[in-house]
Amino acid sequence: MIEKYDPLKGEMLQILHPDGRLEEALRPDLSDETVRDLYQKIVLIRVVDQRALALQRQGRLGTYAPVHGQEAAQIGSAFALGKGDWVFPSFRETGVIYMKGVPLKDIYLYWMGNEAGQKVPEDVYVFPISVPVGTHPLHAVGAAWAAKLQGEKICTVAYFGDGATSEGDFHEAMNLAGVFNTPTIFFCQNNHYAISVPRKRQTAAKTLAQKAIAYGFMGVQVDGNDLFAVYAATKEARERAISGKGPTMIEAVTYRFGPHTTADDPTKYRQDVELEEWKSRDPMLRLQKYLKSKSLWSEDQETKIKTEAESIVSRAIQEAEDVPAPKPEEMFEFTFAVLTPNLKEQMEDYLAFMKEKEK
């Protein structure tokens, strides 16, 4: 289906309209019950976000990059993936990595400043978030290439933003994926701003999706605030990937409601009127309208969902805060498989100093 949407003609896949009306003919295999479950996940991630911001202000958590506004793009795409698919996230992917099995406790633990939060469970294939922008699509290509050589029917997904498409490594990754026909999905959340720089300053191209064409594979633009469209496009890209049809780029057109991170003030570079305009396309409210039309939503239920989300999140925060501070040894232990003599010496010197200090 996605090949019908030509980014060069400005065609964008949209299934759920902002008013909650669904294009039934385009509906993917999502039952209303599943949609309701995914709506709950969106609510949950919104709570995760709000609590992270509050914790940051209280000094209990470091700099945080909120997801707010991009929940449908993240929940919808991650839900379309298989358990064994590998995800290479950027730093604004709380929704994705939660959906892929990273415990909320660990997500908080990481932002609270403990690397142990990035030690994902053994059966979870989510990479540590990539902070250097646009560098990690190459890793997704390499891992996909490996999976292909190993004969595994999985795909890999690189999640990144509009700003990343200006980085050189993004282009090398797209090119290599095309040349080696790797089962990779390039999932771009175009949230219109790279910190303060607007999307139109990143590229003179009309869409980001069209960049795939130059690398010899398909790119599709989808309404990123439309859970159905995001899910449908990702699912199809995944099927293409695991059946040997190579990479796909998906540009999910969305908007970041909040700041880039807690360290930033978006009023300096964005107009309120623009934000308000996008708020009318809020992915959560849109889904709510849909559920309402199916009699699957009520105020009571909403309150129940929110209360439940609050308690799940509170528990995760508590668990993260209960994790004892890491020992200084951890700084040294994971540099190499085996501690080198030099590192051992540095560690022992420091531990001796600490011991002396405690006397």
Partner 1 sequence: MAKRNMVEAINRGLMEEMERDPSVMVLGEDVGKEGGVFRVTDGLQLRFGPERVVDTPLAESGIVGTAFGLAVKGLRPVAEIQFEGFLPPAMDQIMSHISRIRTRSRGRFTCPLVIRSPWGGGIRAPEHHSDSPEAIFAHTPGLKVIIPSTPYDAKGLIVSAIRDPDPVLFFEPKRVYRAIREEVPDGEYTIPIGKAKVIREGKDVTVISWGAMLREVLRAAEMIDKEGIKAEVIDLRTISPLDDTTFLESVRKTGRAVIVHEAPRTCGLGAEIIARINEKALLSLAAPVERVTGFDTVVPLMKLENHYLPSPERILGGIRKVMVF
* 270 labelled catalytic: no
- For residues 116 and 114, what is the distance between their CA atoms, to the nearest angstrom? 5
| Least Cβ distance, residue 284 to partner 1 (angstroms) | 32
Pick one of 13, 61, 72, 143: the residue that binds partner 1 (CB under 8 A). Answer: 143
**How many CB atoms within 10 Å of residue 47?**
19
The answer for residues whose C-beta is within 8 angstroms of residue 210's C-beta and 6 or more apart is 7, 8, 219
Q: How far apart are CA 126 and CA 122, in angstroms?
A: 10
Residue 116 sits in the site that holds partner 1 (CB under 8 A): yes
Closest approach, Cβ 215 to partner 1, in A, equals: 11
The residues, ordered by sequence, that sit 6+ positions from 9 with a Cβ below 8 Å of its Cβ are none
Span interacting with partner 1, options 46-54, 77-85, 140-148, 225-233, rule CB under 8 A? 140-148
Q: Which of 177, 186, 253, 251 is nearest to 220 (CA)?
A: 251
Contact of 249 with 7, CB cutoff 8 Å? no
Sites for partner 1 among residues 277-336 (CB under 8 A): 330, 334-336
CB of 133 to partner 1, least distance (A): 10
> Contact, 73 vs 92, CB < 8 A?
no
Residue 256 among the catalytic residues: yes
5 catalytic per annotation: no
Instruction: Return the DSSP state at 324.
Output: P
Q: Shortest gap between Cβ of 127 and partner 1 (angstroms)?
A: 7
Q: Which of 51, 68, 238, 256 is catalytic?
A: 256
Catalytic position from the list 260, 270, 281, 286: 260
102 counts as binding partner 1 under rule CB under 8 A: no
Query: Which positions touch partner 1 (CB under 8 A)?
Result: 86, 115-116, 118-120, 122, 127-128, 130-132, 135-136, 138-147, 149-150, 156, 168-169, 172-173, 175-176, 179, 330, 334-338, 340-343
Active site residues: 256, 260, 269
